[in-house]
Structure formats: structure tokens, C-alpha cells
Amino acid sequence: MSTTENGDQVATRPEPVAAHAASENPEDARTLLSVENLKMYFPVKSSGLIHRKVGDVQAVDGVSFEVKAGGSLGLVGESGCGKSTTGRLITRLYEPTAGHIRFEGEDIASVPERKLKPLRREIQMIFQDPYTSLNPRHTVGSIIGTPLRIHNVVPEKQVLPRVKELLEIVGLNPEHYNRFPNEFSGGQRQRIGIARALTLNPKLLVADEPVSALDVSIQAQVINLLQDIQREFGVAFLFIAHDLAIVRHFCPEVAVMYLGKIVEIGDRDSIYNQPRHPYTQALLSAVPDVKQAAVGGRRERIQLEGDVPSPINPPSGCRFRTRCPIAQDICARLEPPLLQIGKKHKVACHFPGALGQHPNEPLTAGMLGVDHQGNPDPGASPSPDLTDKPGYDDTWFDLDTRTFGRA
């Protein structure tokens, strides 16, 4: 699709529409963010006078992924799966319990608070609720201009022109810099939040449910704006959302989280067309579909029983096993490794397979050095091919031949 080809249609459309291709990750881009084995445990204190620690909320428990420069990774999952915590860890709003966050090669996981200021210029965040994330007593000009002043980016005289420029970029009237947030609608406020995040020309934007508080017709406006910004400024996105359709639309790579862990990660096509984890399959089948109107009635779906267990006391072994339709003994004993099963596709399941074709024997038993029930097998030793490194290897485990190999 070329610019000129589509340029003609622009005039008739309601919004300026540039040439549009599916958002793809740049093929040879360098790795901007590399997260390895990241953990965040929030202590749970007992009540009473002496607050003794009685446990941990294991909000994020060992996640690894990469974001390419100018690319976008979507994090999806149900509430409490740790996707927002992951976003807040990367912006260093929390200090992680363990693990590494490498931003442009530098580990920022344990940089002390006072040395974080330069980092804030590079990584910015867009929040879910445009009503509580803007200070009601500050004008829009002051909200967007403050980062410029704090970081001394431009002389005081140039702050206002830059603010107006940013307002224009996000599609607001630049003359409205003197207004207060309450004079704007929800969609407009979200645009203000986006302008604030863009002020310092960040390389990475963490968007935590950026559209879920907006009306459907406004959601599309904001999604289009974010895509335009990504194309124009080459910003990388960590896009956190629970809406599978929106994530699919926005992100060429998607990670599915469940109870603090990534259960499946891969490019868009792998996750949405060839999901191999029973949770991803259930999640996808649960989305109500507009096209069902032509048929009537409800779509066939995989029913998950019950609710997500508490992250204070997560199930042993595979965390999804309590709701999993295909769980066996090994699932309670051993946690499945995040196994690469395609060029850009990893899955954490003992029985990975297409819907209805999950294997009867755990494929991971040999690699983990155990028998099919998960008991240690003295004859076998854990495979060196298993890693919890972020990114993808050149070799992977092929589900059909059941061997490690190259494409």
C-alpha cells in the first residue's frame, strides 16, 4: 500500500486518513526493551499492632519479553493477571522484586529513585482513566508544559509554542491551552494525556488500557491517533488491554498473561489464528462476536469454570490448571516452561496443541527430566534447550515432529 494510492480517498473521509497498513513490527529493528524474569511481589501484612508479613501477592512472577524500537507488544489478560503491574514496573513506578529490565542495553530494574530522571524522558505512560489522571486544578497548558520545564528541554519562552504544537498533533484546538480538564470530554481528555506523554519525545510509551474508559465511537478515534503517532514519531508501545480485538488491531506481537505469568507469546497470527494454550483458546472463544447476528444464538465456546485463583496463594505447578479443561497430574507437580514452538511463538503448557488436538502425553516431560506424571525420572536429565530468555531463538521445538529443529 503506498501513500499516493490511498491519498485520493483522504478528502472524502471524515478524518485525515494516511496510507494505512497493518501495524507491523519493523523486521530488523534493534531491541529497545528487554525484560527478563521480572518479578513483583507485594507483601501482605497481618492486621493488628505488629504488621508481620504473612505472604506475598505474586502480581508478576517471572515474565520475559522484548519490545523492538518502533514496534508494539500487546499484553492481554483478565483483571489481576499482572499486566498493569508489568507496565508500572517498566516505567519504574514500582521497583521490581527481582529480574532485569534492560532499556537500550542498560539495566534499569534497580536504578535508585533519584537517578531515574533521565529515564523518564525515554519512557512515558498513558493511563486508563482520563478523569483521574489529569490534575483538575491545572490548565491543559500547564499539564502538558510541566515535563518541558522539569527537564529543561526548551527555554521558558518556547514552552507555550511547543504545548500548542502538541495539542495540534493530538487533534485538539491549540487555542484551548488555557482551559481546565473538566471542560473537555472523555476522549479529548485522553488526547491531553497522550500529548503529555509525547512532550519529551519518548522512545517507549506504556499505554495502560488507553481506550477502555471511552465510548466505542471515541475508542476508534484514539486508536487511530496512537497509530498515527507511532508511524510519525517511531515510538515503541507496550499496549496493555483486556480487549482482545483492540490488541489484535494495534499490536503485531501479543503476550497473554495469566496470574502473573506469560502463558503464550507470539506474533499476531500465531496467537489469534494458531493459539496452542488452552487459556488463549478459551479467551478467544469467549469474545462475543457481532457477526453472530447473521446466525443467531450464542457461539460455541469453551467454558472456563470458576474464577481466577488468588495470586497470594497460586496453584502449584501450572497456575491455570484449576480451570484448565485438559489438566493432568503433571500440571499440579511441575510448572510448564515457556517453550518456543514456532519462529515467533512461545507457549507455556505441558500439552500444547490446536483446539481439540491437544496431545495426550505431556510433550515437556522429556525436556524437564520427568515421567508423564511429573515424577522425577532418574534416566532423563533436563534439556539445555529450555531457557527463560526474552526474545526468540533460531531453533525451536516443532509440535508435529516433536523435536527441536530449525525451520
Partner 1 sequence: MSATTQSGPAPRQAGTSEPLLVVEDLKVHFPTSDGVVKAVDGLSYSVERGKTLGIVGESGSGKSVSSSAIMGLFHGSNAQLGGQIRVDGTDVLQLSEKEMRGLRGREVSMIFQDPLSALHPYYTVGAQIVEAYRVHHDVSKKVARKRAIEMLDRVGIPQPDQRVDSYPHQFSGGMRQRAMIAMGLVNDPSLLIADEPTTALDVTVQAQILDLLQDLQREFNSAVIIITHDLGVVAEMTDDTLVMYAGRGVEYGPTKEILTHPEMPYTWGLLSSVPDVVGDTSAKLIPIPGNPPSLLNAPSGCAFHPRCTHRDKVPGDLCTTTLPELVPGNRSMGHLKRCHLADPEAIYQTEILPEIAPDLVDEER
**Interface with partner 1 (CB under 8 A), residue from 27, 291, 357, 400:** 291
- Judged by CB under 8 A, does residue 289 bind partner 1? yes
- Judged by CB under 8 A, does residue 282 bind partner 1? yes
Is the Cβ of residue 47 or residue 79 nearer to partner 1 in the bound state?
79
Taking only Cα atoms into account, the Rg of the chain, rounded to an integer number of angstroms, comes to: 23
What is the spatial distance between Cα 253 and Cα 265, in angstroms, rounded to a whole number?
Answer: 8
In sequence order, the β-bridge partners of residue 405 are: 396
In this structure, is the dihedral angle defined by the CA atoms of residues 236, 239, 244 and 246, taken in order, positive or negative? negative
DSSP letter at 222 equals H
Q: Contact 165/199 with Cβ under 8 angstroms?
A: no
- Judged by CB under 8 A, does residue 136 bind partner 1? no
Subset of residues 4 to 33 that bind partner 1, contact rule: CB under 8 A: 13-15, 17, 20-23
Is the Cβ of residue 80 or residue 342 nearer to partner 1 in the bound state?
80
Is the Cβ of residue 268 or residue 358 nearer to partner 1 in the bound state?
268
Q: Contact 238/126 with Cβ under 8 angstroms?
A: no
x/- map, 233-272, partner 1, by CB under 8 A? ---------x-xxx-xx------------------x---x
Is the Cβ of residue 158 or residue 173 nearer to partner 1 in the bound state?
173
x/- map, 202-221, partner 1, by CB under 8 A? -------------xxxxxxx
Shortest CA distance to 265 belongs to which of 355, 359, 342?
A: 342
- CA-based diameter of the chain, in Å? 74
What is the spatial distance between Cα 79 and Cα 242, in angstroms, rounded to a whole number?
Answer: 8
Is the Cβ of residue 136 or residue 297 nearer to partner 1 in the bound state?
297
Query: 12 φ, ψ to 5°?
Result: -80, -15
Q: Exposure of 340 by Cβ count < 10 A (0-12 exposed, 13-18 middle, 19+ buried)?
A: buried
How do the residues of the chain divide into helix, strand and coil, expressed in percent and rounded to 5?
A: 30, 20, 45
Subset of residues 146 to 205 that bind partner 1, contact rule: CB under 8 A: 185, 187-188
Ramachandran class of 280: left when φ > 0, alpha when ψ lies in -120 to 50, beta otherwise: alpha
**Interface with partner 1 (CB under 8 A), residue from 56, 78, 122, 385:** 78
- Judged by CB under 8 A, does residue 406 bind partner 1? no
Is the Cβ of residue 173 or residue 375 nearer to partner 1 in the bound state?
173
What is the distance in angstroms between the CA of the first residue and the CA of the last residue of the chain?
29
- Judged by CB under 8 A, does residue 79 bind partner 1? yes
State the minimum distance, in angstroms, from the CB of residue 304 to partner 1: 5
State the minimum distance, in angstroms, from the CB of residue 335 to partner 1: 21
**Interface with partner 1 (CB under 8 A), residue from 294, 357, 360, 378:** 294
- Judged by CB under 8 A, does residue 224 bind partner 1? yes
SS3 99: strand
- Judged by CB under 8 A, does residue 49 bind partner 1? no
Is the Cβ of residue 36 or residue 209 nearer to partner 1 in the bound state?
209
**Candidate segments 57-65, 283-291, 330-338, 365-373, binder of partner 1 by CB under 8 A:** 283-291
Length reported for the chain: 407
State the minimum distance, in angstroms, from the CB of residue 358 to partner 1: 18
State the minimum distance, in angstroms, from the CB of residue 272 to partner 1: 7
CA dihedral 276, 277, 282, 287 (to 10 degrees): -70
What is the spatial distance between Cα 240 and Cα 79, in angstroms, rounded to a whole number?
Answer: 11
The three cell numbers of residue 59 are 502480581
Is the Cβ of residue 203 or residue 345 nearer to partner 1 in the bound state?
345
The residue count for binding partner 1 (CB under 8 A) is 54
The three cell numbers of residue 287 are 469474545
Q: Contact 225/191 with Cβ under 8 angstroms?
A: yes
State the minimum distance, in angstroms, from the CB of residue 136 to partner 1: 20
Amino acid at 219: Q
Residues that bind partner 1 (CB under 8 A): 1, 13-15, 17, 20-23, 78-79, 185, 187-188, 215-221, 223-224, 227, 242, 244-246, 248-249, 268, 272, 282-284, 286-294, 296-299, 301, 303-304, 306-308
